[in-house]
Amino acid sequence: MRYQNRITLILFIVLMISFPVTAMSQGKFTLNPMLSTTLRSDDNFYKAETIEREVNTYLVKPGFELDYETAKSRISLDYSLNVYYYDDKDTLMPGWRPAEDEDYVGHTGVLDVRTTPTDRLTMGLTDSYYYTRDPAQSDVFSNSVTRDKYYINRFTPFIFYDLGPKFSMGFRYRHTQTDYSEEVSEGSTENRGMFDVVYNFNRTTSLDLEYQYWNRDYKVSSDYESGQIRLILRKQYKYFSFEAGAGYHERNFDEPGLENIDVFTYRAALTGQNPPEGSVPRSYITLVAETNFNDSGVGDRYYKATRYSMMAGHVFARKFPFDLEASFQNSDYEKWAGLTPAGTLEVRDDDTKRVEGRLGYIISDYLVFTLAAGHEDRESNMAGRDYDNTYVSARLGFVYGVGKR
């Protein structure tokens, strides 16, 4: 981590030097302090099949958004301190661990630095840090229900260059470090290179040939190497944008007893918003269909994930934002076999569904109150892996903007 932090600091200094001094003095600075409080109640907090426990979660989340922008460069830093408290609503049985034992203070931080020293060259870095109990932060296709605390840091420098009116190319390197604080689960280190060659048909249509290669190292589980190539078509309309990509992913394991795996991978996404420009649309929608392997496979447990997701929202009467999210994921495991409820031995296969609705009230330009309700469930062919959980929450969020030139 010390070595990585030194690289981050060196690149940050290089990028800062590339900022013209005169531009720095003419840049736009914004600071948005934030504070939110959330109360949430889950009727199956630990996502168990049989012994369900109802738990309240209290979250206090102070933070800020910091942004500095010039004509050619931008620095942004988002940070929040996430203070979690838990409270059992059920009477504890002998031997049960109280939910309050899981109280903790988490962190979320995202740094983004980028500059365009010439019309053709863009360079920068992003660095994200999470300290959390949420397994979804470790893998977009996560199928885990564990609540182990861990931190994950993703450090990504990048450079893009326009070769001419039609072609451009880019390279990104990403280092991902995952470590668990209680050492009850297994951390990993991943190094990934991503190379893109883009052909621009016109201002709104492009074709991207993308190649990724990465390796992931574990302390106990088998290390692996992955190579993935995809062809991605992107099209921008006034209110909508469309992306469709497909390719091939091959994963090779170091452990001699593990067979290598491969998959045809694809991703199709449709996004839209009105008005077409601006960070706070009155209406928006995002539809995504994709399939690929999970990246984080502790215990050599890998699966082909096929995921469909939808997010949509609209602000009614300029005062009532309504949002709806839904997703479905099939996790088709490669090797992990177990007993079914009928007592037969099968390779594990899970279907996980989730839906959530949120209705807010904009009290003022700085204050929003939101009520939410959702349901999630998993159906597995393996005994003991089913669960369903219904939850409700209330959130009061405050954001105050400070800006100057």
Residue type, 225: E
- Rounded Cα gap, residues 323 and 359, in angstroms: 7
Stretch 116-137: mean pLDDT:
94
pLDDT in tens, 180-234: 987 678 899 999 999 999 999 999 999 999 999 999 999 889 999 999 999 999 9
pLDDT attached to residue 266: 98
On the question of pLDDT at 17 being above 60, the answer is no
On the question of pLDDT at 89 being above 50, the answer is yes
Domains of the chain: 2-404 (2.40.160)
Stretch 270-297: mean pLDDT:
91
Nearest to 125 by CA among 79, 86, 75, 165: 75
- Are the CB atoms for 142 and 102 separated by under 8 Å? no
Nearest to 350 by CA among 272, 273, 294, 275: 294
pLDDT in tens, 248-259: 999 999 988 889
SS (H, E, C) 319-372: CEEEEEEEEEEEEEEEEEEEECCCCCEEEEEEEEEEEEEEEEEECCCCEEEEEE
- Are the CB atoms for 261 and 334 separated by under 8 Å? yes
On the question of pLDDT at 25 being above 70, the answer is no
User: For 137, which DSSP code?
Assistant: G
Helix (H, G, I), strand (E, B) or coil at 15: helix
Q: Please state the length of the chain.
A: 405
Burial environment of residue 115 by CB neighbours within 10 A (0 to 12, 13 to 18, 19 or more)? buried
Stretch 267-278: mean pLDDT:
91
On the question of pLDDT at 21 being above 50, the answer is no
What is the model's pTM? Answer: 0.89
- Rounded Cα gap, residues 198 and 184, in angstroms: 43
